[in-house]
Chains A and B, each alone.
Chain A
Amino acid sequence: MNKTVKNAEEAIKDIQDNMTLMLGGFGLCGIPENCISALVKKGVKGLTCISNNAGVDDFGIGLMLQTRQVKKMISSYVGENAEFERQLLSGELEVELIPQGTLATRCLAAGYGMPAIFTPAGVGTEVAIGKETRKFMVDGAEKEFLMEMAFDADFAIVKAWKGDTHGNLIYRETARNFNPMMAMAGKITIAEVEELVPAGELNPDHIHTPGIYVHRIFQGANYEKRIEQRTVRVR
Chain B
Amino acid sequence: MLDKVGIAKRIAKEIKDGYYVNLGIGIPTLVANYIPQGMNVVLQSENGLLGMGPFPFEGEEDPDLINAGKQTITTVPGSVFFDSAMSFGMIRARKVDLTILGAMEVADNGDIANWKIPGKMVKGMGGAMDLVASAKNIIVAMQHVNKAGESKLLTKCTLPLTGVKCVKKIVTELAVLDVTPQGFKLLERAPGISVEQIKNATEGKLIIDGDIPEMTIE
A residues neighboring B (CB under 8 Å): 26-30, 52, 75-80, 85, 88-89, 95, 97, 99-105, 107-108, 119-127, 139, 161, 171-181, 208, 225-233, 235
The 0/1 profile, CB within 8 Å of A marked 1, for residues 170-195 of chain B is: 00000000000000000000000000
Tell whether, in the assembled complex, residue A120 and residue B65 are in contact, meaning their CB atoms are under 8 Å apart.
no
Q: Judge if B6 is at the interface, Cβ distance under 8 Å.
A: no
Tell whether, in the assembled complex, residue B72 and residue A97 are in contact, meaning their CB atoms are under 8 Å apart.
no
Known A97-B122, A125-B160; 16 more pairs at CB < 8 Å: A26-B48, A29-B63, A75-B124, A77-B123, A77-B124, A99-B127, A100-B126, A101-B87, A101-B127, A102-B129, A104-B87, A119-B133, A125-B164, A181-B83, A181-B84, A230-B71
Known: A77-B125, A229-B72. Contact between A173 and B134, CB under 8 A? no
Contacts of A226 in B (CB 8 A): 63
Docked Cα-Cα span, A188 to B57, in Å, equals 41
Docked Cα-Cα span, A101 to B133, in Å, equals 11
Contacts of A75 in B (CB 8 A): 124
A17 to chain B, nearest CB (A): 26
Docked Cα-Cα span, A16 to B29, in Å, equals 43
- In the complex formed, the residue of B with least CB distance to A233 is B55
A227 to chain B, nearest CB (A): 5
Docked Cα-Cα span, A173 to B62, in Å, equals 9
Docked Cα-Cα span, A30 to B130, in Å, equals 22
Provide a sorted-by-A list of 30 A–B residue pairs whose CB atoms are within 8 angstroms.
A28-B70, A29-B47, A77-B125, A77-B126, A85-B121, A99-B130, A100-B126, A101-B46, A101-B127, A104-B84, A104-B88, A105-B85, A107-B85, A125-B160, A127-B125, A171-B83, A173-B81, A174-B45, A174-B49, A174-B64, A174-B81, A177-B48, A225-B64, A228-B70, A230-B71, A230-B72, A231-B55, A231-B72, A232-B56, A233-B56
The 0/1 profile, CB within 8 Å of A marked 1, for residues 73-104 of chain B is: 10000000111110111011010000000000
Which residue of A78, A174, A232 is within 8 Å of B58 (Cβ)? A232
Range for the number of chain B residues in contact with chain A: 35 or more
Q: Judge if B163 is at the interface, Cβ distance under 8 Å.
A: yes
Q: Judge if B26 is at the interface, Cβ distance under 8 Å.
A: no
Tell whether, in the assembled complex, residue A124 and residue B164 are in contact, meaning their CB atoms are under 8 Å apart.
yes
Known: A29-B63, A105-B85, A181-B83. Contact between A97 and B55, CB under 8 A? no
Contacts of A225 in B (CB 8 A): 63-64
Q: Judge if B35 is at the interface, Cβ distance under 8 Å.
A: no
Q: Judge if B213 is at the interface, Cβ distance under 8 Å.
A: no
Docked Cα-Cα span, A45 to B202, in Å, equals 51
Known: A120-B133, A120-B134. Contact between A101 and B91, CB under 8 A? yes
